[in-house]
Amino acid sequence: MDNRQLIMTAIDHIEDNLHQPLSVRSLSLFTGYSIYHFIRLFQGVTGLTPGDYIARRKITEAVRDILGKPCRSLLDISLDYSFRDYETFVRTFKRLLHTTPSRIRQKNNSELPLLLHRLCSHDLQQWTTQYTSPPQTVELGEIKLQGIQVTLNDDPSIINTAWRQLEGNMMSIPDRVLPEKFYQLGYWPDDYEDNRIVFLCGCELKDSIFTPISSPFLPNSSQSLLNMTIHTLPPASYLKFLHKGRSAEISATYKYIYGVFLPKTDHRLTLPYEFEFYGKDYLGPDNPLSISEIYIPISLL
């Protein structure tokens, strides 16, 4: 079963359990992915995050019941779809449909709001891209990184700010490899909520006496005395992709990875991170000739 089929299996599982509590974490466990890569792959294949798909499908079926079961109370319908309380039900309605359950029942809307019907295999995303370079499979040993950690919500400029902060504090990292090797590490934390992704903008460290503590996110992580986070990535096998062009355009390469390449494979991505490396061919974020490297972990060594 390739990854595209596996995402379809996850969708079937959602559809069979719309009346039950559903979490993104339980779905990632069901499919055998880390939550980080399950979210990325689900969105690459469907165009929606799994949390958004679950919410929109529950609300869509609730609308059917509001219109088709006039004797059933709005509170009971909200409980039918496992909303923890009526207020949450109403807030979700407003967020997704820009209306309320009572207005739907009263038919005060000039037209029925846009609903999400069950996705079938032929509905899944078919990205068109001219990306032609196949990835390499590489093995890397342990990598220690130190840098500025930020949580991204809706403002991507926070990443640029983190890089500037790192540049200003570079001389305060005595154990850094010289010449410097720069990385951008990304992952969703275990307490995933909405689309909050955590980034570490950092440089590679030499072997040192520093001993990280256990972390739920990566095998080892801690705060350093310099108020910069240190992460240790485990020895692992990776798929190495190249992004050619400006850093602002790298999302197209990620769309290829998660929307085109990985769905056709049977790789099970169980490690909760990925990273970009900026080596000798990286000529700066705005240079169209820059080449940055994207590493997707596929297994521990």
- Give the tens place of pLDDT for each residue, 54-79: 999 999 999 999 989 999 999 999 99
Per the structure, the count of domains in the chain is 2
Assess whether 191 and 270 both reside in one domain: yes
Q: Which of 101, 123, 145 is the last residue of a domain?
A: 123
Q: Same structural domain for residues 115 and 249?
A: no
Query: Residue 215 has what pLDDT?
Result: 42
Do 47 and 163 share a structural domain? no
pLDDT at residue 223 in the model = 52
Is 262 within the bounds of a domain? yes
Q: Is the same domain home to 159 and 205?
A: yes
Residue 155 shares a structural domain with residue 23: no
Instruction: Name 151's Cβ contacts closer than 8 Å, sequence gap at least 6.
Output: 196, 197, 198, 199
pLDDT at position 214, please? 36
Statement to judge: residues 247 and 190 lie in one domain: yes
- Token digits of residue 272: 């909760």
Residue 128 lies in a domain: no
With a cut of 50, say whether residue 210 has pLDDT above it.
no
**In CATH, what number is assigned to the domain containing residue 81?**
1.10.10.60
* 26 domain-assigned: yes
Q: What is the pLDDT of residue 212?
A: 38
Q: Based on the domain organization, do 185 and 239 belong to the same domain?
A: yes
Read off the CATH number of the domain in which 215 is found: 3.20.80.10
What's this model's pTM, rounded to 2 decimal places?
0.83
- Kindly state whether residues 243 and 295 are assigned to the same domain: yes
Report if residue 56 sits inside a domain. yes
- In the predicted model, what is the mean pLDDT of the chain? 86
Alpha-carbon gap, residue 29 to 9, rounded angstroms: 13
Same domain, 58 and 202: no
Question: Are residue 9 and residue 70 in the same domain, yes or no?
Answer: yes
The parent domain of residue 190 ranges over 136-300
Shared domain check, 63 and 106: yes
The pLDDT tens digits for 86-141 are: 999 999 999 998 889 998 888 765 556 578 999 888 877 665 555 667 899 999 99
pLDDT tens profile 216-245: 345 455 554 456 889 999 999 999 999 999
Q: Is residue 131 part of a domain?
A: no
